[in-house]
A = this chain, B = another copy of it.
Amino acid sequence: MSTKQFGKTKAGTRVTMHDVAARAGVSQMTVSRVMRDAGAISPEVRKKVVKAAAEIGYVHNRLAGGMRTTTTPLVGVVVPTLQNRVFTEVLTGISDALATQGIRPVFGVSEYSLEAEEALVLDFLSWRPRGLVLAGLEHTDTVRQMIAAADIRVSEVMDMDGDPIMASFGVSQAEAGRDMARHMLDRGYRRIAYAASQGGRDKRAGKRFEAFAAVIRDAGGQIVDDITAEDPSSLVLGRQLTGTLLARSCPDAIYFSNDDLAGGGLMHCLAEGISVPKDVALAGFNGLSFLEALPQRITTTATPRYEIGRDAALFVADPSRPAPDGGRQDFGTRLIVGNTT
B293 and A127 form a contact (CB under 8 A) = no
Question: How far, in angstroms, from A96 to B6 measured CA to CA in the complex?
Answer: 33
B126 and A61 form a contact (CB under 8 A) = yes
Closest to A91 in B: B82
B62 and A64 form a contact (CB under 8 A) = no
Q: Chain A 61-91, CB within 8 Å of chain B: the 1/0 string?
A: 1111011000010100000001101001101
With contact pairs A88-B82, A125-B60, A295-B267 given, residues A50 and B109 touching in the complex (Cβ less than 8 Å): no
Residue numbers in B under 8 Å from A92 (CB-CB): 82-83, 109
Interface residues of A, dominant DSSP: helix
With contact pairs A145-B57, A149-B58 given, residues A234 and B264 touching in the complex (Cβ less than 8 Å): no
Instruction: Tell me, yes or no, whether A38 is within 8 Å of chain B by CB.
Output: no
With contact pairs A67-B63, A104-B108, A122-B50 given, residues A239 and B149 touching in the complex (Cβ less than 8 Å): no
Instruction: Tell me, yes or no, whether A26 is within 8 Å of chain B by CB.
Output: no
Question: How far, in angstroms, from A67 to B271 measured CA to CA in the complex?
Answer: 59
Instruction: Tell me, yes or no, whether A29 is within 8 Å of chain B by CB.
Output: no
A104 and B118 form a contact (CB under 8 A) = no
A55 and B145 form a contact (CB under 8 A) = yes
Closest to A260 in B: B290
Instruction: Tell me, yes or no, whether A289 is within 8 Å of chain B by CB.
Output: yes
B67 and A64 form a contact (CB under 8 A) = yes
Least CB distance, A100 to chain B, in whole angstroms: 13
With contact pairs A74-B106, A88-B82 given, residues A148 and B3 touching in the complex (Cβ less than 8 Å): yes
Instruction: Tell me, yes or no, whether A107 is within 8 Å of chain B by CB.
Output: yes
Number of chain A residues close to chain B: CB under 8 A:
72
Per a CB cutoff under 8 Å, which of B61, B67, B107, B149 touches A104?
B107
A149 and B57 form a contact (CB under 8 A) = yes
Residue numbers in B under 8 Å from A83 (CB-CB): 85, 88, 92
Question: What would be 15 A-B contacts, judged by CB atoms less than 8 Å apart?
Answer: A3-B148, A50-B118, A57-B145, A57-B148, A58-B149, A61-B126, A61-B128, A63-B67, A82-B88, A92-B109, A95-B107, A104-B123, A104-B127, A235-B292, A235-B293
Point out residues on A near B: beta carbons under 8 Å.
Answer: 3-4, 6-7, 35, 37, 50-51, 53-55, 57-64, 66-67, 72, 74, 82-83, 85, 88-89, 91-92, 95, 99, 102, 104-109, 118, 122-128, 141-143, 145-146, 148-151, 234-236, 238-239, 263-264, 267, 270-271, 289-290, 292-295
Top 7 nearest A-B pairs (CB, nearest first) are: A57-B149, A235-B293, A54-B145, A62-B126, A271-B295, A82-B88, A60-B126
